[in-house]
Amino acid sequence: MRKMREIRKILIANRGEIAVRVIRAARELGIKTVSMYSEADKDSMHRYLADEAYLLKGYEARETYLNIEKIISIAKKSGADAIHPGYGFLSQNPAFVRRVEEEGIIFIGPPARVHEFAGNKVGARKALHEKGFPVVPGSFEPLREAEEAVEVAEEIGYPVILKPVLGGGGVGMKICLDERDLLENFNLLQKLAISAFGSEEMYIEKYYEPVRHIEVQVLGDLKGNVIHLFERECSIQRRFQKIV
């Protein structure tokens, strides 16, 4: 069983409200914090709340919050023991987690091998399907062209929901009622996926309604302790974001 090093300083690889929350939580634990900010975020609160702040040169997400090597460089320069990814951006990107691990930095979250399974939604769907678990009808390979999406949609039937393979937080998702709807939205959502998650890959699932969204929250640590936090009713949502 691995023994985790003590965390004295955390780099928050995110921005805005989530970064502020992590900074405040770390402060309560007596842990120093490092924030990073793009030129567009130079006046944001998370820059000033942290003990240290570093500029990510650029305005676009791919130049800043999605730039793996820039983030690794800041972590090493600041002497951060750990990186907290927040949500969105690179939080579920296996390549990012792998680079953090390669540099000997603690990633606050699941290891790369878990992200390679669960962070890639198509990979997770495929693995579960191959193990005999029921999954919603949809694509088992990443979609890069609108025509590929249309083929899958015709096979499973409309309505469908289009999602980024590396997506999260409800970003870049769209319910498509017919082929015209799908063709009009595919390229737009693909550009959004590149901007938000650094990948153009999309996938499709059959869209059902009315349905209930129920989750079981599971939490584990490096000491082998694993608990579940019972069921969570997540059906009340706004823009695919859970409200309750």
Return the pLDDT at 157: 98
The chain-wide mean pLDDT, for the chain, equals: 93
Indicate if the pLDDT at residue 244 is higher than 80: no
**pLDDT digits 0-9 by tens, 17-54:** 999 999 999 999 999 999 999 999 999 999 999 999 99
Residue in 143, 168, 169 with CA at minimum distance from that of residue 160: 143
Q: Is the dihedral of CA 152, 156, 158, 161 positive or negative?
A: negative
Choose between 242 and 227: higher pLDDT: 227
Q: Is 59 within 8 Å of 34 (Cβ atoms)?
A: no
For residues 149-169, give the mean pLDDT: 95
Residue 65 above 90 pLDDT?
Answer: yes
d(CA 115, CA 187): 26
Mean pLDDT, residues 164-187 taken together: 93
- pLDDT tens, residue by residue, 225-236: 999 999 999 999
Domain locations along the chain:
9-117, 140-206, 210-244
DSSP 151: H
The whole-number pLDDT of residue 115 equals: 86
pLDDT at 3 over 80: no
CATH 3.40.50.2000 fits 9-117, yes or no: no
pLDDT of residue 228: 93
Provide mean pLDDT across the span 51-70: 95
**Has this prediction a pTM greater than 0.85?**
no
Indicate the SS3 state at residue 141: coil
**Comparing 9-117 with 140-206, is the CATH topology the same?**
no
Query: Across residues 177-193, what is the average pLDDT?
Result: 96
The answer as to CATH 2.40.50.140 being correct for domain 140-206 is: no
pLDDT of the residue at 130: 95
Instruction: Encode pLDDT of 87-143 as tens digits.
Output: 889 998 889 999 999 999 999 999 999 888 887 899 899 999 999 999 999 999 999
Closest CA to 31 of 12, 14, 54: 12
